[in-house]
């Protein structure tokens, strides 16, 4: 982040100097800071609404319900955790919260799940276990059912039907989910094989 | 009217009714969640001001056009709008940065264009990979992440092509 914040403005300054657009750039800087406020205001409504609805869903126990539906998948993806144990429970809750788009709830659950995995694997000493990799990697893929931010951004920019991209988002999400899981499984598998051969 | 028009209303009605049957204080829970949403918005504002200015500078200086033009041949080969390429590069690093770039694309290409839809789909279907991985692994003081980052990047580095193709199939260019 630090690097980006130095490189981009510096490059821009050089470019503007060369192409003689310093005046445009200077006024763009003023205009953009105002635009940021307008953007947040126009995003705010949808984000508040959806956070509210999802909090209601959480209170009604829908996260736990979804977690129960997901537990067979978790058993298949995470081979090292105990069935019905603390880590397995936290992992399913983390995934369920992600699917429902409960960003504020899913991160603490995920962190707790990481710690629980560490407790359940006695030989953990700073090098990630297969299950830790799987959990982190699942969270870097977007599991969210309703991409609120993307829709809110579209609405703020005057799209006629902000949610029309939902099917596209789902297809791409499923694609990256499958790729990420397959890649992690394969890489872990080959790493273990190599280690066995070395022993 | 299309199927996607149904999704949000259906989820909303389902959640509200289900919660009411479960005797949840629906109004109270909603307000609690919504005020948390408000807090989120307030928290992203400072970051967005800085990033929108930086990215606005980059665009106004003419650097973006040059970059887009340089990437044109690669993008044309897979039918991807080259103006969305900066978003592909920035997405794994910064969430609010991605929002700023999206806004730039949407305001210059216009709403409901191919580039705008691809950009929005990309934002909706990906995560801030590096940030997420850092949060999760640092929670257990794990310094050797092995194949986690490569696995995540394999998906990030190919998903944009799929993204362009899927949006093309649904909406055309």
Instruction: Note whether residue B155 is domain-resident.
Output: yes
Q: Write out the DSSP string of A100-127.
A: TT-HHHHHHHHHHHHHHHHHH-TT-SSB
Tokens of B116: 């705008």
Burial of A38 (0-12, 13-18, 19+ CB in 10 A): exposed
Query: How many CA atoms within 13 Å lie on the side-chain side of A105?
Result: 24
| Three-state secondary-structure class, residue B96 | helix
As a whole number of angstroms, the longest Cα–Cα distance in chain B is 59
Q: Is residue A167 part of a domain?
A: yes
For the entire predicted model, the pTM comes to 0.88
Structure-token match 């359940």, residue found: A120
Query: Please, are residues B76 and B82 in contact by the beta-carbon 8 Å criterion?
Result: yes
With CB atoms and an 8 Å threshold, state whether B140 touches A115: yes
Is A107 within the bounds of a domain? yes
Give the side-chain half-sphere CA count within 13 A for A179.
23
Chain B residue numbers touching A110 (CB-CB < 8 A): 135-136
Mutate to test the interface with B, among A30, A44, A54, A55 (most CBs of B within 10 A): A55
Closest CB to B112: pick one of A33, A43, A160: A160
Cross-chain residue pair A141–B127, CB shorter than 8 Å: yes
Cβ-nearest to B151 among A11, A154, A184: A184
Interface list for A 59-78 with B (CB within 8 A): 59-62
Nearest to B37 among A19, A51, A118 (CB): A51
Number of domains composing chain B: 1
Contact A142 B62 (CB under 8 A): no
Give the lowest-confidence range in A12-21, A100-109, B160-169.
A100-109
Helices A166-198 and B4-21 cross at an angle (nearest 10°) of 80
Under DSSP, the state recorded for B142 is -
Both structure tokens of A128 = 């990630």
What pLDDT, in 10s, does the model give residues A116-147? 999 888 878 778 999 999 999 999 998 899 99
A9 within some domain = no
- Complex ipTM: 0.87
A121 within 8 A of A109, measured Cβ to Cβ: no
One digit per residue, pLDDT tens: chain B, 173 residues?
Answer: 577 788 888 989 999 999 999 999 999 999 999 998 899 888 888 888 998 898 888 888 888 888 888 888 989 999 999 989 989 988 988 888 899 999 999 999 999 999 999 999 999 999 989 888 888 998 888 888 889 999 999 999 999 999 999 999 999 87
Q: Which domain holds residue B101?
A: 45-171
**Is residue A184 in a domain?**
yes
Domain tally, chain A: 1
In a 3-state reduction of DSSP, which class is residue B144? strand
Strand partners, B144: A127
Q: Would you call B106 and A179 a contact, using CB atoms and an 8 Å cutoff?
A: no
Does A25 map to a domain?
Answer: no
Q: Which of A111, A172, A192 to mutate to test the interface with B (most CBs of B within 10 A)?
A: A172
């Amino acid at each position: 982040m630090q690097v980006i914040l130095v490189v981009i403005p510096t490059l821009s300054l050089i470019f503007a100097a060369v192409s003689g657009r310093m005046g445009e750039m200077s006024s763009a800087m003023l205009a953009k800071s105002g635009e940021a406020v307008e953007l947040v205001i126009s995003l705010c409504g949808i984000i508040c609404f959806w956070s509210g609805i999802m909090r209601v869903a959480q209170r009604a126990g829908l996260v736990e319900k979804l977690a129960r539906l997901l537990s067979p998948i978790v058993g298949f993806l995470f081979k090292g955790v105990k069935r019905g144990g603390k880590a397995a429970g936290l992992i399913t809750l983390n995934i369920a919260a992600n699917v429902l788009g409960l960003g504020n709830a899913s991160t603490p659950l995920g962190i707790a799940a990481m710690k629980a995995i560490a407790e359940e694997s006695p030989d953990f000493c700073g090098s990630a276990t297969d299950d830790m990799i799987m959990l982190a990697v699942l969270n870097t893929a977007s599991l969210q059912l309703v991409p609120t931010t993307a829709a809110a951004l579209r609405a703020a920019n005057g799209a006629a039907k902000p949610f029309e991209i939902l099917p596209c988002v789902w297809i791409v999400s499923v694609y990256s989910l499958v790729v990420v899981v397959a890649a992690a499984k394969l890489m872990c598998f080959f790493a273990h094989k190599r280690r066995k051969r070395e022993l | 009217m299309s199927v996607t028009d149904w999704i949000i209303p259906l989820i909303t009605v389902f959640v509200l009714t289900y919660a009411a049957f479960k005797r949840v204080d629906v109004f109270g829970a909603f307000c609690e969640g919504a005020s948390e949403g408000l807090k989120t918005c307030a928290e992203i504002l400072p970051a967005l001001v800085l990033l929108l200015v930086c990215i606005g500078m980059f665009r106004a200086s003419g650097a973006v056009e040059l970059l887009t033009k340089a990437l044109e041949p690669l993008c044309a080969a897979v039918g991807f709008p080259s103006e969305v390429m900066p978003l592909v590069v920035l997405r794994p690093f910064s969430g609010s940065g991605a929002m700023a770039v999206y806004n730039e694309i949407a305001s210059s290409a216009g709403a409901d264009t191919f580039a705008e839809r691809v950009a929005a789909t990309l934002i909706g279907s990906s995560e801030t990979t590096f940030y997420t991985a850092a949060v999760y692994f640092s929670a257990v003081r794990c310094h050797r992440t092995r194949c986690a980052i490569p696995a995540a990047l394999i998906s990030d580095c190919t998903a944009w092509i799929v993204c362009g193709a899927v949006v093309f199939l649904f909406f055309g260019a």
